A and B are shown apart, each in its own frame.
Chain A
Amino acid sequence: MYPIVEKRVLASNIKSVKVLAPEIAEKAQAGQFVIVRVDEKGERIPLTLVDWNRSEGTISLIFLEVGVSTRKLGKLERGEAILDVAGPLGCPSEIRNYGTVCVVGGGVGIAAAYPIARALKESGNKVISIIGARTAGLLILEEEMGKVSDELYISTDDGTKGYKGFVSDVLKMLILKGYNFNLVYAIGPAVMMRAVAETTRPYKIKTIASLNSIMVDGMGMCGACRVTVGGKTKFACVDGPEFDAHQVDFGELIKRQMFFLPEEKLALEKWESRECCK
Chain B
Amino acid sequence: MSAAERKIQKKSVSMPKQNPEVRIRNFNEVALGYNEEQALAEAERCLQCKNAPCIKGCPVEIDIPVFIKLIRERNFEAAIKKIKEKNSLPAICGRVCPQEEQCQKYCTLGKVGDPVSIGRLERFVADWERERGFNIPEIPASTGKAVAVIGSGPAGLTVAADLAKLGHKVVVFEALHLPGGVLMYGIPEFRLPKVIVQAEVDYIRKLGVEIRLNHLIGRTYTIPELLKRGFNAVFIGTGAGLPQFLNVPGENLSGIYSANEFLIRVNLMKAYMFPEYDTPIKVGRRVAVIGAGNVAMDAARSALRLGAEQVYIVYRRSREEMPARKEEIENAEEEGVQFCFLAAPVRFIGDDRGWVKQMECIRMELGPPDESGRRRPMPVKDSGFIVDADTVIIAIGRTPNPIIQCTTEGLAVTQWGTIVTDENGKTNIEGVYAGGDIVTGEATVISAMGAGKRAARAIHEYLTGKA
- Identify which of A88, A267, A271 gathers the most chain B CB atoms within 10 Å of its CB: A267
- Identify which of A42, A223, A258, A267 gathers the most chain B CB atoms within 10 Å of its CB: A223
A238 to B215, CA, bound (A): 15
Q: Would B214 and A219 count as touching, CB distance under 8 A?
A: no
Question: Which one, B78-86, B138-146, B203-211, B259-267, is touching chain A?
Answer: B259-267
Interface string of B222-247 (1 = CB under 8 A from A): 00000000000000000001110101
Q: What is the number of contacts between chain A and chain B, taking CB atoms within 8 Å?
A: 120
Q: Would B214 and A86 count as touching, CB distance under 8 A?
A: yes
Taking CB atoms, residues of chain A closer than 8 Å to B261 are: 216, 222-224
A27 to B221, CA, bound (A): 8
Counting CB contacts under 8 A, is B255 at the interface? yes
| 153-189 of chain B: CB within 8 A of chain A | 175-177, 185
Counting CB contacts under 8 A, is A165 at the interface? no
Q: Would A43 and B401 count as touching, CB distance under 8 A?
A: no
Counting CB contacts under 8 A, is A65 at the interface? no
Counting CB contacts under 8 A, is A37 at the interface? yes
A86 in contact with B247 given A216-B261, A221-B260 (CB within 8 Å): no
Q: Would B219 and A89 count as touching, CB distance under 8 A?
A: yes
Counting CB contacts under 8 A, is A24 at the interface? yes
A260 in contact with B282 given A216-B264, A222-B264, A238-B403 (CB within 8 Å): yes
Contact residue among A69, A220, A256, A258 (Cβ-Cβ distance under 8 Å from B242): A220
Counting CB contacts under 8 A, is A203 at the interface? no
Q: Would B258 and A223 count as touching, CB distance under 8 A?
A: yes
Taking CB atoms, residues of chain A closer than 8 Å to B279 are: 43-44, 216
Q: Would B177 and A86 count as touching, CB distance under 8 A?
A: yes
Counting CB contacts under 8 A, is A263 at the interface? yes
Q: Would A219 and B264 count as touching, CB distance under 8 A?
A: no
Taking CB atoms, residues of chain B closer than 8 Å to A83 are: 177
Q: Would B219 and A27 count as touching, CB distance under 8 A?
A: yes
Contact residue among B251, B258, B274, B403 (Cβ-Cβ distance under 8 Å from A219): B403
Q: Would B219 and A87 count as touching, CB distance under 8 A?
A: yes
A233 to B258, CA, bound (A): 13
Counting CB contacts under 8 A, is B278 at the interface? yes
Which chain B residue has the least Cβ–Cβ distance from A90? B219
Q: Would B219 and A41 count as touching, CB distance under 8 A?
A: no
Q: How large is the interface on A (under 10, 10 to 19, 20 to 34, 35 or more residues)?
A: 35 or more
Counting CB contacts under 8 A, is B410 at the interface? no
A219 in contact with B216 given A68-B278, A86-B177 (CB within 8 Å): yes
Counting CB contacts under 8 A, is A157 at the interface? no
Counting CB contacts under 8 A, is A151 at the interface? no
Which chain A residue has the least Cβ–Cβ distance from B352? A255
Taking CB atoms, residues of chain A closer than 8 Å to B137 are: none
Counting CB contacts under 8 A, is B354 at the interface? yes
A246 to B216, CA, bound (A): 31
| 260-302 of chain B: CB within 8 A of chain A | 260-261, 264-265, 269-270, 274-280, 282
Q: Would A221 and B220 count as touching, CB distance under 8 A?
A: no
Counting CB contacts under 8 A, is A226 at the interface? yes
State the Cβ distance, B31 to closest chain A Cβ, in Å.
27
Taking CB atoms, residues of chain B closer than 8 Å to A271 are: 275
A263 in contact with B274 given A216-B265, A220-B241, A228-B252 (CB within 8 Å): yes
Q: Would A41 and B277 count as touching, CB distance under 8 A?
A: yes
Which chain B residue has the least Cβ–Cβ distance from A32? B219
A43 in contact with B269 given A219-B403, A233-B247 (CB within 8 Å): yes
Counting CB contacts under 8 A, is B331 at the interface? no
Counting CB contacts under 8 A, is B50 at the interface? no
Counting CB contacts under 8 A, is B254 at the interface? yes
A24 to B221, CA, bound (A): 9
Which chain A residue has the least Cβ–Cβ distance from B276? A41
State the Cβ distance, B178 to closest chain A Cβ, in Å.
9
Q: Would B353 and A217 count as touching, CB distance under 8 A?
A: no
Q: Would B185 and A88 count as touching, CB distance under 8 A?
A: no
Q: Would A270 and B275 count as touching, CB distance under 8 A?
A: yes
Taking CB atoms, residues of chain A closer than 8 Å to B40 are: none
A259 in contact with B278 given A86-B175, A87-B216, A89-B216 (CB within 8 Å): no
Counting CB contacts under 8 A, is A266 at the interface? yes
A44 in contact with B260 given A238-B403, A255-B353, A258-B353 (CB within 8 Å): no
Counting CB contacts under 8 A, is A84 at the interface? yes
Which chain B residue has the least Cβ–Cβ distance from A259? B254
Taking CB atoms, residues of chain A closer than 8 Å to B258 are: 222-223
Q: Would B176 and A217 count as touching, CB distance under 8 A?
A: yes
Q: Would B241 and A221 count as touching, CB distance under 8 A?
A: yes
Which chain B residue has the least Cβ–Cβ distance from A228? B252
State the Cβ distance, B16 to closest chain A Cβ, in Å.
32
Counting CB contacts under 8 A, is A244 at the interface? no
Q: Would B177 and A44 count as touching, CB distance under 8 A?
A: yes
Which chain B residue has the least Cβ–Cβ distance from A87? B219
Taking CB atoms, residues of chain A closer than 8 Å to B260 are: 221-223
A84 in contact with B177 given A216-B261, A260-B280 (CB within 8 Å): yes
A221 to B261, CA, bound (A): 7
Which chain A residue has the least Cβ–Cβ distance from B394? A223
Interface string of A205-230 (1 = CB under 8 A from B): 00000000000110111111011100
A89 to B282, CA, bound (A): 27
State the Cβ distance, B441 to closest chain A Cβ, in Å.
16
A87-B216, A220-B401, A266-B275 are known contacts; what are 17 more A-B pairs with Cβ within 8 Å? Answer: A41-B276, A44-B177, A68-B275, A72-B278, A84-B214, A86-B214, A87-B219, A217-B264, A219-B176, A219-B241, A220-B241, A222-B260, A223-B243, A226-B245, A252-B252, A259-B282, A263-B275
Listed from nearest, the 4 A-B pairs whose CB atoms lie closest are A255-B354, A263-B280, A222-B261, A86-B214
Interface residues of A (CB under 8 A from B): 23-24, 27, 37, 41-44, 68-69, 72, 83-89, 216-217, 219-224, 226-228, 233, 238, 252, 255-256, 258-260, 263-264, 266-267, 270-271
